[in-house]
Amino acid sequence: MIDLKNSMTLSFSAAAQNEAFARMAVAAFIMPLDPTISEITDIKTAVSEAVTNAIIHGYGNNSEKNVVLLCSYENRSVYIEITDYGIGIEDIKQARTPLYTSAPELERSGLGFTVMETFMDSVDVLSEKGKGTTVRMAKKLMDSDNKNDMDCR
Ligand SMILES: Nc1ncnc2c1ncn2[C@@H]1O[C@H](COP(=O)(O)OP(=O)(O)O)[C@@H](O)[C@H]1O
Ligand SMILES: [Mg+2]
């Protein structure tokens, strides 16, 4: 297997339409790793949730603000970091509790972090009230060897 190490950074307006941009940008960036459809879907879903949170909760939909997205990979491990410099999270444990939402009026499900945890191998949340939030996620993609096995079945 070829050793691959690569990284990119994006900074974009905290506008709803950039959620689709962000998840497609990540999907395009990791294409050289030849991920499976389900791996791409998992990663795109997790990115969508984190970016939506940054836009809606972090910045209160203020599109004058910027969301920063870092994506890198080394061999088959993909690392994603989504940062906002918005309101921050006072109680991270509570925020990560399934079904907890601070915005029920926006018809939020409170399952964003649960979705990220389900689809990624690890999710770390770093946040300070008034300073902002960084969500760090990682996922190791299946080895190409295993994928070939699956194709043969
Ligand atoms: N980037 C963020 N900035 C501030 N608060 C956040 C951020 N991300 C998540 N939160 C808080 O964590 C809660 C739970 O997030 P999540 O599980 O995605 O549910 P939902 O977005 O449906 O409310 C949010 O309601 C919000 O209070
Ligand atoms: Mg959410």
Note the pLDDT tens digit of each residue in 74-119.
Answer: 999 999 999 999 999 999 999 999 999 998 887 778 999 999 999 9
Q: Whose CA is nearest to atom 4 of ligand 1?
A: 58
Closest CA to 78 of 121, 118, 22: 121
Which residue type is seen at 6? N
48-83 pLDDT, tens digit per residue, is 999 999 999 999 999 999 999 999 999 999 999 999
| 66 has catalytic annotation | no
| 61 has catalytic annotation | no
Specify the pTM: 0.93
Give 145 Cα–ligand 2 centroid separation in angstroms. Answer: 35
Contact 51, 67 (CB under 8 A): yes
Give 48 Cα–ligand 1 centroid separation in angstroms. Answer: 13
Which residue type is seen at 101? T
Residue-level pLDDT at 149: 54
Contact 45, 103 (CB under 8 A): no
Ligand 1 neighbourhood includes 65 CB (under 6 angstroms): no
